[in-house]
């Protein structure tokens, strides 16, 4: 018999959508290397344009806007389980010109819906059929708008998808949630 305090009932957390990420890639991710000994393939995605916005009328009343986003994402793929581990670093500006750094890890299960978009045989996958996740964190310079600082206190979780526009440009798009 354990001397530990018993846990309370299992909670039912609520996920509240608060942000969108809309990130355009320069091109399809570029293969950097494949190493079968360590079961790893590295691809590099370069983000050339993007924005992060608060969802208009979100239930918590949060405001947020970052523009002129660029950066990179290391897609470390473990082929034996068809899963990519993300290591993303993004940079952008708030409306008042403050510098912002966004970093996130995440996972992409390379299922048929996502692979079809990545290889160009489909133009989009729904968020429901995709397993594209992230956990963004923000770093601001000193002059960031006060109304944006809420992101520093929250655990943010994203669910997303890959999509292509009419010119075949690849995008990654996320809805970002807070937990209550």
pLDDT tens, position by position, 48-90: 999 999 999 999 999 999 999 999 999 999 999 999 999 999 9
Residue 7 is assigned to a structural domain of this protein: no
Q: What pTM value is reported for the model?
A: 0.94
2 inside domain: no
Whether 9 is in a domain gets the answer no
Residue 79 belongs to domain spanning: 15-179
pLDDT score recorded for residue 51: 98
Classify residue 27: in a domain, yes or no. Answer: yes
Domain total in the chain? 1
CATH number reported for the structural domain that contains residue 111 in this entry: 2.40.160.20
What pLDDT is recorded for position 102?
98
Question: Using CA atoms, how far apart are residues 118 and 17, in angstroms rounded to an integer?
Answer: 26
Within-domain flag for 61: yes
Residue 8 C-beta-side C-alpha neighbours within 13 Å: 2
On whether residue 1 sits in a domain, the answer given is no
pLDDT over threshold 80, residue 1 = no
């Amino acid at each position: 018999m354990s001397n530990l305090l018993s846990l309370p009932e299992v909670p039912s957390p609520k996920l509240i959508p608060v942000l969108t990420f809309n990130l355009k890639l320069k091109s399809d991710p570029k293969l950097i290397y494949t190493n079968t000994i360590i079961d790893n393939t590295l691809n590099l995605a370069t983000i050339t344009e993007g924005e992060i916005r608060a969802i208009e009328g979100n239930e918590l009343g949060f405001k947020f806007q970052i523009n002129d986003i660029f950066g990179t994402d290391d897609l470390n793929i473990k082929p034996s389980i068809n899963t990519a581990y993300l290591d993303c670093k993004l940079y952008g500006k708030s409306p008042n010109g403050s510098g912002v750094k966004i970093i996130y890890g995440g996972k992409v299960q390379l299922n048929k819906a996502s692979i079809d978009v990545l290889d160009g045989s489909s133009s989009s996958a729904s968020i429901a059929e995709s397993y594209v996740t992230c956990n963004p964190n923000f770093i601001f310079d000193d002059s960031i708008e006060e109304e944006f600082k809420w992101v520093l206190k929250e655990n943010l979780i994203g669910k997303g998808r890959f999509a292509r526009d009419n010119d075949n440009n690849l995008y990654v798009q996320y809805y970002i949630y807070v937990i209550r």
